[in-house]
Amino acid sequence: MTETPANDIAALRRILKANHTIAVVGLSAEWHRPSFFAAK
């Protein structure tokens, strides 16, 4: 069974409210790469 986008958003909100530390994997130290802006 798949979730609807509204349920996904609600789940993300619950996760972000409950957790104060979020790890971002695959960041680049080079400012011009999209992965640099992911955590910014």
Residue-level pLDDT at 2: 58
Q: pLDDT digits over 1-40, tens only?
A: 555 677 888 998 998 899 988 787 888 888 898 888 877 7
In the chain, the amino acid numbered 1 is M
Domain ranges in the chain?
5-39
Residue-level pLDDT at 29: 85
Angle ∠(34,13,16) on CA atoms, nearest 5: 65
Residue-level pLDDT at 12: 87
Residue-level pLDDT at 14: 92
Distance (Å, whole) CA 36 – CA 28? 5
pTM for this prediction? 0.43
Instruction: Give the residue from 21, 40, 20 showing the smallest Cα distance to 30.
Output: 40
Residue-level pLDDT at 3: 55
